[in-house]
Chains A and B, each alone.
Chain A
Amino acid sequence: MTIQYTEDHEWVRSESDAAVVTVGITVHAQDALGDVVFVDLPEVGKHFDQGEVAGVVESVKAAADVFMPVAGEITEVNEALRADPSLANSAPMDGGWFFKVKLSDAAQLAKLLDETAYTKFSAES
């Protein structure tokens, strides 16, 4: 299991089935947003290109787009998060995941940030 990151503050976790990854927002992102009160999740089965807006996360004070970190098809969304958006704050890296993606191009994973690079990036941004 590997976790990688984007400069848009999403994390991407590669599961044992290497073709499917799980996506969520980072600890830094949920902290910047504050109390999350709403998430808009994509439709299962829909395909997105890398960088397309796939969802929305809103706190009381701000709304933010969730970008597709890698191209692919949505295979599952987190219904528990839809029902209780505060999971994005309380468990951003596990119970607060957003959706799962079947990769179109596994090579895109190699270009994401590792934890060290993301930590450095988010500290500077």
Chain B
Amino acid sequence: MKTAPLETALAAASDDLQKTPLHALHLELGARMVPFAGYSMPVQYPAGLMAEHKHTREAAGLFDISHMGQLRLVGPDAAAAFETLMPVDVIGLAPGKQRYGLLLNDEGGILDDLMFFNEGGDSLFVIVNGACKHSDIAHIQARIGQRCQVQPMPGHALLALQGPQAASTLARLSPGVERFVFMTGGAVLIGGIAAFVTRSGYTGEDGFEISVAAADADALARLLLGQPEVKPVGLGARNSLRLEAGLCLYGNDIDESTTPVEAALGWAMQKVRRSGGAREGGFPGAEKILAQLTAASGSAGHIDHETLKRKRVGLVALERIPVRDGTLLESFEGVAIGQVTSGLLGPTVDRPIAMGYLALAYAEPGTRIQAVVRGKPVPMEVCTLPFLPARYWRG
């Protein structure tokens, strides 16, 4: 038996990996640690991926996501400057609110996806992917470092508390925290520990992401784990939870070779930055991306397959066979039409689900295609995302 991804990951574990402030706690909890984004991270705890996944859907799961990058952009020009890097409305984001963003390269490819929060006082709090954080900070510094202060926050840990019981649990320790609706947040005390919370996450569930000083992270995690609803959840379940929620994993589903339009992330590009908007364009790759948006809308009277060739879609396998990352997708005539970028047996939906890119002609929900798994065709159907309805708290 050769467990390629897992055993390779285990074998690659070495001392030069960074440790999060919760490393000792993970070991104490019996976590299986793997290298991820340059860190030693818990892939699962003794309960196992399935149990951790289901616990998050039913109660509340605690995730250590301290490998992610946190930074601030500060100064009166910070929002306007940051807007030049993304096809997103940054200037219009009200204080106390959070938004999804996409850093683009000059070809319109995605350098990273991120969350940003308007702290007020000319300060944006930004969370980026762990594997991209050094290149992101360098990119941001190079492009807009003259217009605002770029302040990395390596001294902060990041936790996520996710699940239908996350809010009631956190409110017990931080009365009033339940007032925040999805994509808002603020500074709070949790059992006396100063933290910055946003009501957001990466599981499709209600919940919070909690930024805390590294020195306080262990105490905060233990306090949360001491609540009866809360169990620790590793990166394995984080991946299956986010895929059921239809959320992209940077490096799998989106990367420098994919544009936001191809990635079906048009919802992240507000009207004000689109053709005809008050601040139309003015971001890297704008010409290409705005043309792709027009092509996708069919406003020329037809879908323009030359300008927009492929699109990210959801897929379900019609047989109970998992279809994994990298699997070739074909028409029933055997013509290659795309590739799977994430795929597994969804623990809650209890069927094989995937995301991938398909030639535009095959990207409509309901279209049937086939995946080539170990040389054998497995029928799949294009479906709408997410695979499970999101349960965000919008008030």
Contacts and interface: CB of A to CB of B under 8 A. Distances in A.
Interface string A46-57: 000000000011
Contacts of B179: none
Contacts of A63: 4-5, 322, 324
Interface in A51-74: 56-67
A33 interface: yes
A60 B1 contact: no
Contact of B236 (A25, A32, A34, A57): A34
B239 A65 contact: no
B6 interface: yes
B1 A58 contact: no
Contact of A8 (B1, B49, B53, B344): B1
Interface residues of B, number: 25
A65 B347 contact: no
Interface in B300-349: 320-322, 324, 344-345, 347
B345 A60 contact: yes
A35 B3 contact: no
Interface in B204-235: none
Contact of A67 (B1, B322, B374): B1
Interface in A1-48: 8-10, 25-26, 29, 32-35, 37-38, 40
A62 B322 contact: no
B43 A57 contact: no
Nearest to A61: B236
Nearest to B51: A35
B145 interface: no
B304 to A, nearest CB: 38
B173 to A, nearest CB: 31
A90 to B, nearest CB: 12
Contact of A34 (B48, B320, B324): B48
Nearest to A34: B49
Interface string B140-169: 000000000000000000000000000000
Contacts of B10: 32
Nearest to B9: A62
B44 interface: yes
Contact of A56 (B44, B50, B374): B374
Interface string B64-79: 0000000000000000
Category for how many chain A residues contact B: 20 to 34
Contacts of A33: 3, 6
Given A62-B4, A65-B1, A40 B321 contact: yes
Contacts of A59: 49
Interface in A104-125: 125
A92 B9 CA distance: 23
B6 A61 contact: yes
A25 to B, nearest CB: 6
A29 B1 contact: yes
A103 B48 CA distance: 37
Give the 4 A-B residue pairs with the shortest CB-CB distance, closest first.
A9-B1, A35-B50, A62-B6, A37-B345
Given A60-B50, A61-B239, 19 more contacts: A8-B1, A32-B7, A35-B50, A37-B50, A37-B322, A38-B320, A38-B321, A38-B345, A56-B374, A57-B1, A59-B49, A60-B49, A60-B240, A61-B236, A62-B6, A64-B1, A65-B1, A65-B2, A66-B1
7 contacts: A34-B48, A35-B48, A57-B1, A58-B345, A64-B2, A64-B4, A65-B2
